[in-house]
Copies of this chain bind each other. A is one copy, B any other.
Amino acid sequence: MERPRHQAMAKNTNMRWRLPLICLLWEVAMIVLFGVFVRFSPEADAHWEEEKQEMNLTSDIENDFYFRYPSFQDVHVMIFVGFGFLMTFLKRYGFGAVGFNFLLAAFGIQWALLMQGWFHSFKGGKILIGVENLINADFCVGSVCIAFGAILGKTSPVQLLIMTLFQVTLFSVNEYILLNLLHVKDAGGSMTIHTFGAYFGLTVTRILYRPNLEQSKDKQGSVYHSDLFAMIGTLYLWMYWPSFNSAISEHGDAQHRAAINTYCSLAACVLTTVAFSSMLQKKGKLDMVHIQNATLAGGVAVGTSAEMMLTPYGSLIVGFICGIVSTVGYVYLTPFLESRLHIQDTCGIHNLHAMPGLIGGIVGAITAAAATEDVYGKEGFIKVFDFTGPYQTRTPSVQGGFQAAGIMVSLLMAFAGGALVGAVLKLPVWGEAAAENCFEDDIYWEVPEDEESDVYHMHNPDKPASP
């Protein structure tokens, strides 16, 4: 039995030709481009046996695979399970949350391998990919997952795929400007991933503003078990964030340090999130939205500085502050943004990614500016900031300035790019749902009859129950 629903008259949400077409065309494009451009990096190529001899490597364990693969898998879990399940908190949008996240990420990593490859791994006309490229592709897609959080429940899968195509492209350009032109450090992506991704998503959702969204207000909340599903996402993000921030740092002490700093920041963040969640509610009860999200802000905010000598207590301070900022944001800022600025931010990415991302960029700039050879050691100083080649003479304070410039560039790219993409997505041809059907899986998914629908019958005792 179909339960009655107000089907939007004017909206055609049937995906039958649009979605298959875009998926198949783009995947064919990926195959062609991969065929022309993508090959294995030397360490993944069967020629490595010979390469090893030339490089005088005596052991297979020197392969970058063993330095990074465990971190890669942790990052992979964060993108697919972490972000996917974090967004299942809505009572009737679990399929869309985890399923569309799966779709856009699976497409996005392919396109990111190409885009980032052209910028960073292009040798002799070929993109040579290894495990570090896989991590970077996941990182890039992470910024799309973040933006998805702002528009969750309000867009069609076709819109999401289009956004992914554009955002991955813009991400890669922005990343190239920061890392190569400004020579900025940003191992965990406070600027490139979080600041860019969040403000991009917020701009898109602003442009896609739906004045009648309160028509689906009853579906914007959670139910008991959907909140537990979301906690799976939260915990995996929280636990693996040290891997995220250390995944592409230099081998050795830098990876080690980045993991420790992130671990500390996240631990502190939980305490202040709980404190403010309780404090800001009349009866002192904790709010699952805060626990699910604000506890993660500490990981975002050490994304730039984790591999620097931020030190454990410095990390605690950053986490301490971000738990507060993020929780206060959920309570006061999100409603304000929605009512005054017409920014409808489903998951509150402004609190979890945008503000902590900015803080992370600033902390990174300060930490870089404050660096001394005393603290880092002579060689460590050069290695951490890569003050080599054309950057040999760059001083910490100059580096700090460039780091700050990186924040600004990321913001500009996010606003400009988000505006452009928002405009494209506003075209009335992509099959988005009507306002009263937002946050409802039934529009794009075959949803099983279940307990809940039985319960619905109950409220209409006149109708015969037909399970």
Contact = CB atoms under 8 A, between A and B. Distances in A.
Interface string A99-131: 100110011011001000000000000000111
A313 interface: yes
Interface stretch (A30-38, A143-151, A335-343, A412-420): A30-38
Given A49-B379, A313-B34, A451 B455 contact: yes
Given A34-B312, A311-B40, A270 B103 contact: yes
Nearest to A464: B459
For chain A, what secondary structure do more than half of its interface residues adopt (helix, strand, loop), or is it mixed? helix
Contacts of A134: 259-260, 263
Interface string A8-45: 00000011111111011011101100110011100111
Contacts of A444: 285-286
A299 interface: no
Interface string A398-416: 0000000000000000000
B384 A46 contact: yes
Nearest to A33: B313
A260 B85 CA distance: 25
Nearest to A22: B275
The number of times this chain is found in the oligomer is: 3
Contact of A232 (B232, B264, B449): B232
A462 interface: no
B222 A102 contact: no
A391 interface: no
A53 to B, nearest CB: 8
A447 to B, nearest CB: 7
25 contacts: A15-B285, A15-B286, A16-B278, A23-B271, A27-B316, A28-B320, A31-B320, A45-B309, A46-B381, A60-B67, A61-B61, A63-B255, A73-B74, A85-B232, A94-B224, A94-B227, A98-B231, A99-B231, A99-B288, A106-B267, A134-B263, A223-B449, A287-B446, A288-B446, A455-B455
Interface of A: 14-21, 23-24, 26-28, 30-31, 34-35, 38-40, 43-50, 52, 59-67, 69-71, 73-74, 76-77, 80-81, 84-85, 88, 91-92, 94-95, 98-99, 102-103, 106-107, 109-110, 113, 129-131, 134, 157, 218, 221-225, 227-229, 231-232, 235-236, 238-240, 242-243, 251-257, 259-260, 263-264, 266-268, 270-272, 274-276, 278-279, 281-288, 291, 295, 309, 311-313, 316-317, 320, 375-381, 383-384, 443-452, 454-455, 458-459, 465, 467
